[in-house]
């Protein structure tokens, strides 16, 4: 997430709270070079980074399932936060980032300057980050959805962590966010409090609805949460091209993004049918939400949820398989 995830780029590390726990399959080969025709051996290994939000993991598991079961590749799914995943293109630890939320700075560094990564097309998902309140608050305080009125309601959002100001709850520290700059530049009497994970945001949003608790929080689409909890977006100053160019001076809303895939240059050059599948992969927000919901709420592993979706959507995924 989502521009989507990573203003802080400080929280590097493996394993993210809130993701379902990726299963890793190992292989003696770290390349994805095709095997000889008719071979029963695995074709190679593809390393798909798992970034810390369930929508990303849903996409990764569907692609991984097809790589394993249709094209006979081994797949590794290491849990790696965003910036470290990009660094993996240079070290050889990552072949694929399956859902990228903007990151023009990282594209410049790793695609244009270091030339170790390339773009691999759209995922088909439209990503939007924003600030949200539960619908009951918008019903009770109709003008609360205009940022100009947030200071009037700051006392409603005070917590033990917000230091006498209203709380704006953010998620994983690695997520891309302009929220600190927005609070400062829009002169809002709020403090950004990091919840620590996607799971923390989900818990807070659910409690806000069930217990009529005040909540102002950072969130994004696509996400299954909008099918479970009634949320209303706060209107920030409209995004215009270039308004967020300087991270310290941002005073505008987040843009809608066409989420894309990034792969290592080596994988693009030598990945064969695995690379073609990744490049061809494209689905809708609704598709992703269905898999993510099964993973989060229906007790399924990523592989089980992927298998369920694949069995129900044969025509969609067959179009991704290289001829």
Record the pTM.
0.82
For the chain, percent of residues with pLDDT exceeding 90: 83
Per-residue pLDDT band at 55 (split at 50, 70, 90) = very high
DSSP 128: E
Higher pLDDT, 172 or 236: 236
Phi, then psi, of 176 in degrees rounded to 5:
-70, 125
The mean pLDDT of the chain is: 88
pLDDT of res. 190: 98
Q: Does the structure show a pLDDT above 90 at 235? A: yes
Per-residue pLDDT band at 11 (split at 50, 70, 90) = very low
Alpha-carbon gap, residue 186 to 199, rounded angstroms: 28
Token pair 């990303």: residue: 56
pLDDT digits (tens, 9 = 90+) for 94-137: 999 999 998 999 999 999 999 999 999 999 999 999 999 999 99
Alpha-carbon gap, residue 121 to 142, rounded angstroms: 40
The distance of Cα 103 from the centroid of its chain, to the nearest Å, equals 12
DSSP 126: E
């Amino acid at each position: 997430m989502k521009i989507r995830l990573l203003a802080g780029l400080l929280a590097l590390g493996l394993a993210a709270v809130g993701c379902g726990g990726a299963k890793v399959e190992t292989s003696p080969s770290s390349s994805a070079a095709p095997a000889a025709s008719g071979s029963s051996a695995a074709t190679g290994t593809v390393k798909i980074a798992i970034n810390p939000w369930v929508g990303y993991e849903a996409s990764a598991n569907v692609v991984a399932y097809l790589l394993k079961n249709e094209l006979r590749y081994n797949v590794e799914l290491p849990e790696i936060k965003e910036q470290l995943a990009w660094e993996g293109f240079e070290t050889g630890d990552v072949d694929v980032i399956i859902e990228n939320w903007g990151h023009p700075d990282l594209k410049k560094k790793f695609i244009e300057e270091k030339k170790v990564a390339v773009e691999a097309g759209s995922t088909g998902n439209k990503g939007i980050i924003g600030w949200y309140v539960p619908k009951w608050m918008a019903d009770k305080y109709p003008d609360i959805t205009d940022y100009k009125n947030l200071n009037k309601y700051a006392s409603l959002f005070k917590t033990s962590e917000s230091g006498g100001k209203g709380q704006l709850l953010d998620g994983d520290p690695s997520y891309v966010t302009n929220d600190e700059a927005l609070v400062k530049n829009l002169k809002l009497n709020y403090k950004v409090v990091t919840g620590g994970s996607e799971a923390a945001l989900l818990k807070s949003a659910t409690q806000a609805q069930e217990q009529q608790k005040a909540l102002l929080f950072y969130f994004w689409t696509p996400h299954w949460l909008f099918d479970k909890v009634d949320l209303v977006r706060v209107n920030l100053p409209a995004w215009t091209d270039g308004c967020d160019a300087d991270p310290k001076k941002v005073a505008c809303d987040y843009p809608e993004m066409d989420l894309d895939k990034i792969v290592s240059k080596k994988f693009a050059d030598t990945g064969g049918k695995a690379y073609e599948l990744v490049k061809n992969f494209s689905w809708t927000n609704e598709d992703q939400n269905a898999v993510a919901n099964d993973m989060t709420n229906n007790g399924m592993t990523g592989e089980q949820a992927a298998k369920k979706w694949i069995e129900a959507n044969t025509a969609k995924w067959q179009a991704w398989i290289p001829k």
